[in-house]
A and B are shown apart, each in its own frame.
Chain A
Amino acid sequence: MRWLYLAPVAIFAVVAGYFAVGLTRDPGTLPSALLNKPAPEFALPPLNPDKPGLATADLKGAPVLVNVWASWCVPCRAEHPILIRLAREVPVLGFNYKDKTEDARRFLAELGDPYAKIGTDPTGRAAIDWGVYGVPETFVVDAEGRIRHRHVGPLTDRVVAETIRPLLKSLAR
């Protein structure tokens, strides 16, 4: 029984060892956990009957942008004109997050629809797999279906010119 009294200090020694090594790491460098990894498996139902939904298979074949948006999200309105322009260069796929179908449709009817395909995630379940923590977010996915870049917050002309377009150009080669 005596060894049992040693258990607490032994457990602490192990934890302290982890603490010691942990001090040498920087937890601040938290890139998207999915960077350069295949996009998570998912399949989202369509928003409109006339436009297809969104699933993992849609991300393969050519580089695409996946844009996470919602009608209630005001910054999404701000980035919307940029998406409409980008849609002429690259397929933009819509990931409609925690939204109501009629609100989302009204949003697109009002501001225009840049999306080649739109999947709806009313519960936000698929967004968890993508590591989304706010809208809008935009992912650049390469032809093999791997996530190459993640932008959090609304796209701006500068972000597009300095990051998104150069990346798309390099992926096209």
Chain B
Amino acid sequence: MIAELGQFALALALVVAVAQSTVPLIGAARGDAALTAFARPAAYVQLACIVVAFAALTHAYVTHDFSVVNVARNSHSTMPFLYRLTGVWGNHEGSMLLWILILALMSAAVAGFGANLPEALRARVLAVQGMIGTAFLLFTLFTSNPFARQFPPPMDGRELNPLLQDPGLAFHPPWLYLGYVGFSVAFSFAVAALIEGKVDPAWARWVRPWTLFAWVALTIGIALGSWWAYYELGWGGWWFWDPVENASFMPWIIGAALLHSAVVVEKRDALKSWTILLALVAFSFSLIGTFLVRSGVLTSVHAFAVDPARGVFILMILLVAIGGSLALYAWRAPMLKSGGLFQPLSREGALVLNNLLLATGAATVLLGTLYPLFMDVLGAGKVSVGPPYFNATFVPLMVPLVIAMGVGPLLSWKRADLGGALSRLTVAASATVVVIVLVLYASGGSGFFAAAGLGLAAWLFVATVIELVGRLRLFRAPLSESLDRWRALPRSALGMTVAHAGLAVAIAGMTASTLFQEEKILAMRSGDTVAIRGYELRFQGVTAVPGPNYQADRARFVVTSGGAPVTVLSPERRFYPVQRQQTTEAAIHTTGLADLYVVVGDSDGRGAWTVRVYHNPLVPWIWAGCMIMALGGGLSLTDRRLRVGAPKRRLQPAE
């Protein structure tokens, strides 16, 4: 009964979405206030319907209603409560429902927070949101119904994929979708602006918080996914350039570019049509990611729900949404009037460079991701594109970007004095040289790439700090003045400083963990020891430990350093009998500067176990850096001037 209620609510949501995507648009075109005003209540009702549907599916999971096919396929009576909840989105149908829920949430947020938006613009934005909602509700109802029943119901379910029964992965999809779907708002704003034929600084100010929110959520989502891959897949790696990882990374890059180009629109009334294009492309990449994951055109460790019928449906959505919006762009964008002029050497110029490099970076990732598909279609055979391609193309593009990131914030708008900016960066340049020399010395001259990566991180970090110090006039003015400046510092400026510093931290982590990783793979018997980077691990055998829905072999390693006890590590191998699947649970000892990482593998049945031990320097900095970046974005989001809905169109940007 409750599942049927859910299905009914979903169908009702579709009806509302169709109305939401047409009525306000007609109203805005005719200047009919009654029709325009329909947009907001429609967004709220649509959200309410989808909340009911989502609650109904959650209810089916929590109460073990195995007559619902989706529950029977992805749940089991012995599964812990947390995974029964997260199992709701741990499968194709349920995750589509989550996607739609978040989309409706974003629409309702635009309706609720957008009180200061002009009526017509808000109506158009909500109408475009309604169109996206219509497309995905149709997709869900017709190809991926989460409420389908089966009779008679099976005795028990088939359980959630054991790899997904993990707290890290439980919260990875909601954040990721908040990011993916969050870009829909920027997309809708861009389409609405193209319809109106008007982009001005106020428009950029309305779009920025939404973009910032989506970008922060995506940052957290990607970081959670990478962290999960690190400790759950058992290879000590944290990024594999897998198509699905790339699918989340491309909107992130474009989102970062959009954040920066929107600043130029807001402050200088320039780069308008480019910013509109980025807003369209960011969400297009989100949609392409959805297509790649769910259609089965590419193989990936994530590939779930491979079904050509679904692929065709999503392709239709892509054609309408991406093809349609880009065609609209081709038609309307040339009419947008360009505003402020600027010299190449200026803050605007630096942001253009940032945008060019980020966009090229996204293009190289796209090419690498789709290359196997292109080759297959052209009949050139099955190929796979691996990390060497991305390391050779994407990484070098990021080098000038990071160098420019150190200089850009020091340049003034319109026309800048590069010499003056560079002279302020002597400390950063010295720090970079010191780090490079130290790394080269420590590695015996072989660590060229490590020196370059860590040097870049030092450059970016110190340059970012110098920019903040300059803003506060610290050490140059009396302390009281600096304190006053600190209090008056706009949150968005502080947010930039924090986010750039976070990237520096993450770059250091990525470089050191990739290039200085030490790996030992060996067969061990109880009593054997292995030494790695100053640690000694004594293997004390494996004991069988029962879990709620699995059987674990838990190994025990006593870790000492120079004879002094450090910790005891207990990696596990878990066997899930329902799915007949094995998972590894790495044991990690972290000092904040490095991780000691142990996984236990197969046994030969006579007391020897495959053991892999890794020492990963600075690896925690990757996720710490991502969280600092997200924090920077969050700080910027709390800026009074950017607070959602706060700006009014008549006001000139305060400078």
Q: Is the CB of A9 within 8 A of B523?
A: no
Decide yes or no whether A152 CB sits under 8 A from chain B: no
Q: Is the CB of B323 within 8 A of A12?
A: yes
B609 nearest in chain A by CB position: A74
Decide yes or no whether B504 CB sits under 8 A from chain A: no
A70 nearest in chain B by CB position: B521
Chain B interface residue number, banded = 35 or more
- Bound CA–CA A71/B603 (angstroms): 13
Decide yes or no whether B516 CB sits under 8 A from chain A: no
Q: Is the CB of A22 within 8 A of B308?
A: no
If the complex has contacts A15-B370, A74-B610, A103-B522, are A27 and B329 also in contact, measured as CB distance less than 8 A? no
What's the minimum C-beta distance from B61 to chain A, rounded to whole angstroms? 29
What's the minimum C-beta distance from A23 to chain B, rounded to whole angstroms? 5
Decide yes or no whether B544 CB sits under 8 A from chain A: no
Q: Is the CB of A30 within 8 A of B382?
A: yes
- Bound CA–CA A148/B34 (angstroms): 73
A130-161 CB mask vs B (1 if < 8 Å, else 0) is: 00000000000000000000000000000000
Q: Is the CB of B299 within 8 A of A30?
A: yes
- Classify the secondary structure of A's interface with B: helix
Decide yes or no whether A40 CB sits under 8 A from chain B: no
Given A12, A22, A74, which contacts B322 in the complex, CB threshold below 8 Å? A12
Residues of A within 8 A of B298 (CB): 22, 27
- Bound CA–CA A28/B297 (angstroms): 9
Taking CB atoms and an 8 Å cut-off, the chain A residues in 1-25 that contact chain B are 1-2, 5-6, 8-9, 12-13, 15-16, 18-25
- Classify the secondary structure of B's interface with A: helix
Decide yes or no whether A62 CB sits under 8 A from chain B: no
Residues of B within 8 A of A57 (CB): none
Decide yes or no whether A91 CB sits under 8 A from chain B: no
Q: Is the CB of B323 within 8 A of A16?
A: yes
Q: Is the CB of B334 within 8 A of A5?
A: yes
Residues of B within 8 A of A22 (CB): 297-298, 373, 376-377
Decide yes or no whether A172 CB sits under 8 A from chain B: no
- Bound CA–CA A20/B376 (angstroms): 12
Q: Is the CB of B297 within 8 A of A72?
A: no
Q: Is the CB of A5 within 8 A of B315?
A: no
Given B295, B327, B334, B610, which contacts A2 in the complex, CB threshold below 8 Å? B334
If the complex has contacts A23-B311, A25-B377, are A6 and B608 also in contact, measured as CB distance less than 8 A? no
Residues of A within 8 A of B655 (CB): none
- Bound CA–CA A71/B20 (angstroms): 65
Question: Which 10 A-B pairs give the minimum distances between C-beta atoms?
Answer: A9-B326, A22-B297, A74-B602, A72-B521, A74-B610, A21-B377, A27-B299, A72-B522, A6-B330, A5-B330
15 A-B residue pairs with CB within 8 Å = A5-B273, A5-B330, A5-B333, A8-B277, A8-B281, A16-B318, A16-B322, A22-B298, A23-B296, A25-B297, A28-B306, A72-B523, A78-B604, A78-B605, A103-B522
Show the binding face of B for A, using Cβ within 8 Å.
Answer: 273, 277, 280-281, 284, 291, 295-299, 306, 308, 311-312, 315, 318-319, 322-323, 326-327, 329-330, 333-334, 370, 372-374, 376-377, 381-383, 521-523, 601-605, 608-610
